[in-house]
Amino acid sequence: MCRLCNPKMPGLTCLARSDFLHDSTGSDQAANAGSFIASGSNAAQDSAASTLPAGIGDPDRRILIKGGAVLSMDAAVGNFAVGDVLIEGGRIVEVASKIETGDAAVINASGKIVMPGFVDTHHHQFETALRSQLANAILINDGRASARLNYYEAVLQQASMVYRPEDVYINELFGSLSQLDAGVTTVMDVSQIHHSPEHSDAAIEGMMDAGRRSVFGYFEGWGDRAQYPQDAKRIKQQYFSSDDQLMTMVMGGEIYLPGYETAWKIGRELGLPIALHVVGTFGMQETFDTLGASGQFGPDNIFIHMTGMSDKGWKYAADAGAHVSLSVPIEMQMRHGMPPVQKAIDLGMSTSLSTDVECTMTADPFTQMRGLITLQRMLANEKALAGEDYPELMTTLEAIRTATMGGAEGLKLDSKIGSLTPGKQADILLLNAETLNVAPLNNVPGAVVTLMERSNVDTVLVAGKVKKWRGELLGFDLGRLTTELAASRDHIFEAAGLERDLFAN
């Protein structure tokens, strides 16, 4: 049964034409047949799908991406001004300047940059219907009139409390597809919406139906039917019993909430990474330092933001091999604190980028990379201009690494994704470098970070399956999905008592 027809979510109608929406396993080896069939209501999708090379979609057919500028993000593989990538069974089998094969379906990558998909290590996708609602907001109410619509009150205390499972589903699906369109092939979704087991199932199913690689972040919920964190055992057994699938799981364990010790214990018993927001605004420095001093940190920890922490707290985290997920534009915009970019670099910590909340900032990876590099260089340049010693200036290649391999490391997926390495899953982007905003191409990493935007994402493959082709997402009736999302928005605003003013300042 298609999840959009699921009786648990009666408010949603069936939007699927392609069989891949009916696969409940999320397996990397799931059949590709039909996964590129566009909805008949979208002429642009139909037109794009009609130009797919012969053989694409045949599960027994190899794919050769040919003649692109290949940015592998693997020093052992190298980069190629003109190169080829061969895919078989959803995996990369060869990357070289020229690959001869007579039996592969060929994707012409001339004029394109071929690189690994972006990885987002922290995105609250359940908030998709709230996009731009808090564009001027800060994190918590500081007493000023301008802070009336702050994130903590408007989202966590109001909007999130009225979500139905069908709202969770459409928000997760739409948010996933939007990022897939932008070249983000892997996400960790931080879904703080687990008010019941049905809410949890809806979040998982929404991500699963999008068909991209996802990490389900099991965080808190509220109300009499909330089963967090105990339901993690049921969820892992039901949805994540195999490592050979597109979706994996992370345990949320917020140390500013009571009972986090139980969440950490359950997560580690289940062999799951433990993720949490670490923000000085919430007064968690003392708890964080105490946990670090008692040896509770490990390489399985993903610390989101890491703003306002003490030097000893940082040392505990670094010594434990913990990972840091930075949301640079959001941290600057919403008053989380100064993004600790240089601190993480100086300590040699594994670091990634994350988009956080679309109610305040876009979830595209190009904005994240530009935010990262411009902030780091601004702070270093200020020191240089003041005649002080300054750190090395971040390069565009380093920014891309943070958005690819850095994210893969943080989510414990670096053996599968993050680089164009033979043996890894074929999560691959083709970025158009012949467009008005990029041409002529003079420097590959420079073009990706300083010039490109989501419109340059021409083609997206996940585990060797074509999800976007010639600028069009394939397999979904986007018009009807947009209508369903708007209906969810209307319910959330009305039920939560939120004002909807298109020109509010």
Tokens of 348: 């040699």
CA distances from 270 to 190, 235, 251, 267, 302 (A): 18, 11, 9, 5, 16
The percent of the chain in helix, strand and coil, each rounded to the nearest 5, is 35, 20, 45
Q: Which of 312, 310, 313 is nearest to 301 (CA)?
A: 313
**pTM for this predicted structure:** 0.93
Compute the distance between CA of residue 30 and CA of residue 89 in angstroms, rounded to an integer. Answer: 10
pLDDT for 85: 98
Of all residues in the chain, the percent with pLDDT exceeding 90 is 85
Write out the E strands in 253-346.
Answer: 274-279, 301-307, 323-326
Q: Which two tokens stand for residue 492?
A: 């959330």
Give residue 312's pLDDT.
97
Question: pLDDT tens across 308-334, in order?
Answer: 999 999 999 999 999 999 999 999 999
How does strand 247-252 pair with strand 213-218? parallel
Residue 19: its pLDDT value, please?
Answer: 35
pLDDT tens, per residue, the chain with 505 residues: 444 444 434 444 444 433 333 333 344 433 333 333 333 346 888 888 888 988 998 888 999 999 999 999 999 999 999 999 999 999 999 999 999 998 999 999 999 999 999 999 999 999 999 999 999 999 999 999 888 889 999 999 999 999 999 999 999 999 999 999 999 999 999 999 999 999 999 999 999 999 999 999 999 999 999 999 999 999 999 999 988 899 999 999 999 999 999 999 999 999 999 999 999 877 899 999 999 999 999 999 999 999 999 999 999 999 999 999 999 999 999 999 999 999 999 999 999 999 999 999 999 999 999 999 999 999 999 999 999 999 999 999 999 999 999 999 999 999 999 999 999 999 999 999 999 999 999 999 999 999 999 999 999 999 999 999 999 999 999 999 999 999 999 999 999 999 888 998 7
| Euclidean distance between CA atoms 161 and 207, whole angstroms | 21
**Rounded CA separation 68/432 (Å):** 10
Q: What is the Cα gyration radius of the chain?
A: 22
HSE value, Cβ hemisphere, 13 Å, CA-based, for 147: 12
> What pLDDT digit, counting tens, does each position of 355-370 carry?
999 999 999 999 999 9
What stretches of 234-367 adopt beta strand conformation (E)? 247-252, 274-279, 301-307, 323-326, 351-353
Residues of CATH 2.30.40.10 domain(s) within the chain? 3-96+106-115+414-479
- Strand, helix or coil at 385? helix
- Per-residue pLDDT at 316: 98
Separation of alpha carbons 250 and 215, rounded Å? 7
CB 240 within 8 A of CB 217: no
User: Which residue in this structure is represented by tokens 């993720």?
Assistant: 275
Per DSSP, the three-state class of 10 is coil
Contact in structure between 418 and 185 (CB atoms under 8 Å): no
Q: What angle do CA 41, 47, 53 make, to 5 degrees?
A: 135
Residues of the chain with CATH 3.20.20.140: 118-391
Which two tokens mark 50?
């009609």
Token pair 């920014």 is at which residue?
Answer: 399
Integer Cα distance of 406 and 253 in angstroms: 21
pLDDT tens figures, 134-148: 999 999 999 998 888
Distance in angstroms (rounded) separating the CA atoms of residues 88 and 461 = 13
Specify whether the CB–CB gap between 287 and 276 falls below 8 A.
no
Residue 290 CA from chain centroid, whole number = 31
| 119 vs 125: CA distance, rounded Å | 14
Query: What span, in angstroms and rounded, lies between the C-alpha atoms of 115 and 215?
Result: 21
Q: Which class in CATH covers the domain with range 118-391?
A: alpha beta
What is the Cα–Cα distance from 88 to 103, expressed in whole angstroms?
A: 11
**Residues sharing a CB contact under 8 Å with residue 475, sequence separation 6 or more, in sequence order:** 16, 17, 18, 20, 21, 35, 36, 37, 38, 39, 211, 467
At the topology level, CATH places domain 3-96+106-115+414-479 in Urease, subunit C; domain 1 (2.30.40)
